[in-house]
Amino acid sequence: MDVTFSLGLQDISAIMPELAMISVGLLLLMLDLVVKRKEIIAIIGVAGALVALYGTVSVYGMSESQTVFADMFLLDKYSCFFKIIFYLNVIFTICISFKYMAIEKAAFGEYYALLLFATAGMMIMASAADLMILYLGLELMALSTYILAGLLRKQARSNEAAVKYFFLGAFSSAFLLYGIALTYGMTGTTNITDIATSLFTLGIHDSPVMYLGVIFMIVAFGFKVALVPFHMWAPDVYEGAPTSITAFMSVGPKAAGFAVLGRVLFEAFGSMQPQWSAVLVPLAILTMVVGSVIALAQSNIKRMLAYSSIAHAGYMLLGIIAGTPEGLTSTINYLMIYTFMNIGAFTIVIMLRREGFQGENIEDYMGLAKSHPMASALMLIFMFSLTGIPPTAGFIGKFYVFMEAINAGYTYLAIIAALFSVVSAFFYLRIVVYMYMKEPQNEIVLTTSGPAGIVLAITCLAVLIIGIFPSILLSLANFSILG
């Protein structure tokens, strides 16, 4: 009955980035009461994220991973890699929100605070060493995003998005909990490392109960990363939510979902790899097929990007299915690339929104190249990157996952993925076609802003540089898995 844990300095220092995130979030809540210019709040939010980024980067080179808070929180390179994705995501999102939220008349401090809290939730998920903490992080993230999705409460579709997201999210958490409960019951623990040991010592990696637990967790995580058939919330929520939040959601929760999927499947259930790979294969196929195919019929660009993000989840899954460390590397590599190209695309989407004009229809892009050659060129790059055409980063991402899938013997999956990326090319191309090959219907005014410009510059450069010199990212991803 001894207390086995006492709080120490190393515990606090390990969660410094999370702490920074949360405290800045709290600060923003308070500042909101006194500061009238909401841009300042946003800037402070970015600063907070940057501080956290610094904190993460400074420990990135550490030689060994660290478990703190009584094996609850794990600070390792894997989580750091994901945290960087989260920081980029939140920073980009805040940057593109400046003007947008003002147009939507919803620029208030809570918005930024919630973004930071959601990010904190993701960070906790990525660092979770215990299913319990994983669950809590997930809920922290989820609850924040539910609110953010429904933020524009004067808009029916924002409400509806929130309702759908919330209900289905809660439904899926129930499955997660059931899975956790089963795992706990069988192994007697919720600690990820201990689960792996228990599975090994008890020799229960073939038991149906464990399998059921894993399946339920896959269902729940599959919901977060929008795998078919657990994807159905995604298009509606992406379309209904404020565009900046759509951008945020299309990257953050997805990355977090993959982070925990990788963590749980590889670390806790590593010995059950054949089983869960088998489950994921049909999901991956369905995801790629349904995502690519339905996107073809879309006329709303947010919705189209939603389906596109579903399809991308399918590609990312290939790396996990491979079941090797390299496979996981390819997935996280893909995620990082996806972050840049997807946010880049959403930045252009958001720039079309202006007072009294939604700018979400694909027709709205007609003739954009004529009036805004630069924006169109960037969108073109993002679209080709999402398609996976070299020399953009999107190609590197796809190449790597295909490579690992094939290496693991899933050549047919790679072929399906390749063919459906051709299908997906069709709808990405359509944007390009509208921008470059149609005459403008009416005058297009872009809502530009400095921060958004910076985001575009960074994402575009990243897409091109990673596309041409992928080594930079590859070694980082590699390093983050091996550590």
- Sign, CA dihedral 245-251-252-257, equals positive
Exactly one of 151, 350, 368, 456 binds other proteins (CB under 8 A); that residue is 151
Considering only residues 428 through 457, tell me which ones interact with other proteins, judged by CB under 8 A: 429, 432-433, 436-438
Please tell me the distance from the alpha carbon of residue 282 to that of residue 291, in angstroms, as a whole number: 14
Q: Are 134 and 128 in contact (CB under 8 A)?
A: yes
Number of residues that bind other proteins (CB under 8 A): 141
The answer to whether 478 contacts other proteins (rule: CB under 8 A) is yes
Exactly one of 161, 317, 321, 375 binds other proteins (CB under 8 A); that residue is 161
Q: How far is the CB of 340 from other proteins (least distance, A)?
A: 18
Contact range with other proteins by CB under 8 A, out of 51-59, 90-98, 338-346, 386-394: 386-394
Considering only residues 41 through 100, tell me which ones interact with other proteins, judged by CB under 8 A: 69-70, 72-73
Instruction: Say how many C-beta atoms besides its own lie within 10 A of residue 258's C-beta.
Output: 27
361 phi/psi in degrees, rounded to 5? -80, 145
Q: How do 73-75 and 66-68 pair as beta strands?
A: antiparallel
Please tell me the distance from the alpha carbon of residue 23 to that of residue 31, in angstroms, as a whole number: 12
The answer to whether 105 contacts other proteins (rule: CB under 8 A) is yes
Instruction: Say how many C-beta atoms besides its own lie within 10 A of residue 359's C-beta.
Output: 19
- Sign, CA dihedral 386-388-389-391, equals positive
332 phi/psi in degrees, rounded to 5? -70, -30
Six token digits for residue 227: 């795998």
Exactly one of 87, 98, 112, 175 binds other proteins (CB under 8 A); that residue is 175
The answer to whether 150 contacts other proteins (rule: CB under 8 A) is yes
The answer to whether 320 contacts other proteins (rule: CB under 8 A) is no
Structure letter (DSSP) for residue 34: H
Q: Which is nearer to other proteins, 240 or 451 (CB)?
A: 240
Q: Which is nearer to other proteins, 10 or 475 (CB)?
A: 475
Exactly one of 98, 233, 248, 258 binds other proteins (CB under 8 A); that residue is 233
Q: Are 195 and 268 in contact (CB under 8 A)?
A: yes
Contact range with other proteins by CB under 8 A, out of 74-82, 313-321, 340-348, 366-374: 366-374
Contact range with other proteins by CB under 8 A, out of 52-60, 312-320, 354-362, 409-417: 409-417
Query: What is the number of alpha carbons within 13 Å of residue 182 lying toward its C-beta?
Result: 18
Considering only residues 12 through 31, tell me which ones interact with other proteins, judged by CB under 8 A: 15, 22, 29
Buried b (16+ CB within 10 A) or exposed e, 337-349: bbbbbbbbbbbbb
Q: Which is nearer to other proteins, 369 or 446 (CB)?
A: 369
Q: Which is nearer to other proteins, 144 or 347 (CB)?
A: 144
- Which among 330, 168, 349, 169 has a CA at the least distance from the CA of 242? 349
Please tell me the distance from the alpha carbon of residue 346 to that of residue 359, in angstroms, as a whole number: 12
Interhelix angle 243-262/325-352, rounded to 10 degrees, is 180
Exactly one of 8, 325, 373, 450 binds other proteins (CB under 8 A); that residue is 373
Note the Cα 454 to chain centre separation in Å.
21
Q: Are 283 and 222 in contact (CB under 8 A)?
A: yes
Exactly one of 223, 266, 334, 340 binds other proteins (CB under 8 A); that residue is 223
Q: Which is nearer to other proteins, 27 or 168 (CB)?
A: 168
Exactly one of 209, 457, 461, 482 binds other proteins (CB under 8 A); that residue is 209
The answer to whether 357 contacts other proteins (rule: CB under 8 A) is no
Determine the residue type at 12.
Answer: I
Exactly one of 166, 266, 315, 334 binds other proteins (CB under 8 A); that residue is 166
Exactly one of 88, 248, 402, 458 binds other proteins (CB under 8 A); that residue is 402
Determine the residue type at 455.
Answer: V
Considering only residues 117 through 136, tell me which ones interact with other proteins, judged by CB under 8 A: 117, 120, 124, 130, 132-133, 135-136
- Sign, CA dihedral 108-255-46-394, equals negative
Q: How far is the CB of 475 from other proteins (least distance, A)?
A: 6
Instruction: Say how many C-beta atoms besides its own lie within 10 A of residue 106's C-beta.
Output: 20
Q: How far is the CB of 401 from other proteins (least distance, A)?
A: 10
Q: Which is nearer to other proteins, 352 or 414 (CB)?
A: 414
Per-residue contact flags (x/-) with other proteins for residues 261 to 300, judged by CB under 8 A: --------------x--xx--xx------x--xxxxxx--
Exactly one of 96, 106, 305, 379 binds other proteins (CB under 8 A); that residue is 106
The answer to whether 411 contacts other proteins (rule: CB under 8 A) is yes
Contact range with other proteins by CB under 8 A, out of 48-56, 78-86, 317-325, 388-396: 388-396
Q: How far is the CB of 396 from other proteins (least distance, A)?
A: 9
The DSSP code sequence of 155-206 is SHHHHHHHHHHHHHHHHHHHHHHHHHHHHHHHHS--BHHHHHHHHHHHT-TT
Q: Which is nearer to other proteins, 25 or 55 (CB)?
A: 25
Helix (H, G, I), strand (E, B) or coil at 483: coil
SS (H, E, C) 432-449: HHHHHHCCCCCCCCCCCC
Contact range with other proteins by CB under 8 A, out of 56-64, 151-159, 255-263, 449-457: 151-159
